Structure formats: C-alpha cells, structure tokens
C-alpha cells in the first residue's frame, strides 16, 4: 500500500514538474515571438498605402478651382478672358468623366457679340485637343445665362469601334477645355463658367 502511495506521490510530483517546465517553455516562446510581431506590425504600418486617407484637393491647371465631389464628380470653374473673336478656357482634368453639365453666365458685356458658339475640346495625350460633340450656340449679352449638357455616346454592343478621326473625339480625355468664338465681337464679354463632370 505504501508503495502505491509513494508511486502516486511521485507521479503527482512528476506532473507538477512537467507542467512548470511546459509553462516556462511557452513563456520563453512568447517572449521570443513578441519582438518579431511588433516588427511585423511596424513594417505593415509603413508599407500601408495612403489611399484610404483623404487629402486636400489639388488645384487644377493654371490654378483653376477644381472641386472633387464623391463618386467621381468634379465641379470646375474654368477661367477665360474674352476680348476678341475667340478665346479658350483653361483645361480641366476629366479622365473619369462621361458627361458634363455646362453653364456660361455673362456679366456686363461691352459691345455686340453675334453668332457666338462654344466648342468643347478634349485631349487624350494632354497636348492635342480634338472637338467633343458639336458647338453650342450661346447668347453673349449682358446677364445672359446659357446651359447645356455633353453626354458620351454609349455603344449598343459590348465593344464598339468608332471611325478614326484626327479632329473629333467621342469621349472625354484626360483634359477638357472650351473654345468661344463669334462672327462679330465687341470690347469685352466677362463670363462666369461652371461645369459639373460625372
């Protein structure tokens, strides 16, 4: 009987020693793993892309007021000075645009402007501008408001190939501008332009 008690006591003692040894080994493993885990977290933080963070909107070409809106909407107020028969606005980045809502509001016009049009132009390479749609007839008179919309043509099948052209575009490129022209003109025609690109 005493042998059984001694054997049982020895086994209990053996298990206690085993448990202490295993627990100590786990602690050493955790201590060794902790610096590696911290280094991995720091590396992940430094390599993380900055895309999820919102940054201030950059100024457009020539300092124009480009205001990005959610879901790819851009509101712009391109600048133009009309002092003769024709003038061109500053260009706006429009890579993701599929339509434009345009409004030209004239201030106090000096002289008479007649047969005036505004032609949208876009550039795929940022250098060569092609006409986009047809020219819109506008009234260039004091306090006249002119509004119109440009919409890209949608294909009827999954892939549509347009005719090749060296002067016309069927969709918005990376930059879009507007050219104002009149058959006869006065001294000045100040205008405020607002364009919403989607």
Whether residue 76 lies inside any domain: the answer is yes
DSSP-derived secondary structure for 50-116: STTS--PPPP-GGG--EEEETTTEEEE-------SSEEEPPPEE-TT-SEEEEEEEE---BS--BSE
Check which CATH number belongs to the domain holding 185 and give it: 2.60.120
The answer to whether residues 114 and 88 belong to one domain is yes
- pLDDT averaged per 10 residues, the chain (length 198): 55 56 60 77 70 48 53 88 96 93 97 97 95 96 97 72 89 95 96 96
In this structure, are 118 and 172 located in the same domain?
yes
Per-residue pLDDT at 35: 79
Q: Are residues 28 and 95 in the same domain?
A: no
Q: Specify the number of domains making up the chain.
A: 2
Please give the pLDDT value at position 53.
47
Q: Does 193 lie in the same domain as 95?
A: yes
Q: Which domain holds residue 23?
A: 1-53
Q: How far apart are CA 177 and CA 71, in angstroms?
A: 22
Same domain, 94 and 174: yes
**How far are the Cα atoms of 44, 116, 120, 131 from residue 140, in angstroms, in the given order?**
58, 7, 17, 21
**Is the distance from CB of 184 to CB of 114 less than 8 angstroms?**
yes
Task: Tell me: do 41 and 94 sit in the same domain.
Answer: no
- C-alpha span between 195 and 137 (Å, rounded): 17
């Amino acid at each position: 009987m005493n042998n059984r008690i001694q054997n049982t006591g020895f086994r209990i003692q053996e298990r206690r020693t085993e448990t202490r040894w295993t627990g100590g080994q786990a602690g050493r493993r955790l201590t060794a793993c902790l610096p590696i885990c911290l280094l991995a977290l720091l590396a992940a933080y430094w390599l993380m892309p900055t895309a999820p963070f919102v940054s201030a909107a950059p100024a457009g070409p020539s300092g124009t007021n480009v205001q990005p809106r959610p879901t790819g909407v851009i509101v712009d107020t391109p600048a133009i000075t009309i002092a003769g028969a024709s003038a061109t606005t500053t260009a706006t980045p429009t890579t993701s645009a599929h339509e434009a809502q345009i409004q030209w509001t004239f201030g106090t016009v000096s002289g008479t402007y007649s047969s005036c049009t505004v032609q949208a132009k876009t550039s795929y390479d940022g250098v060569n501008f092609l006409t986009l749609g047809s020219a819109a007839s506008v009234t260039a008179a004091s306090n006249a408001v002119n509004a119109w919309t440009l919409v890209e043509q949608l294909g009827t099948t999954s892939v549509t190939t347009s005719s090749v052209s060296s002067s016309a575009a069927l969709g918005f490129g990376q930059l879009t501008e507007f050219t104002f022209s009149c058959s006869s003109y006065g001294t000045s025609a100040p205008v405020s332009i607002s364009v919403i690109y989607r």
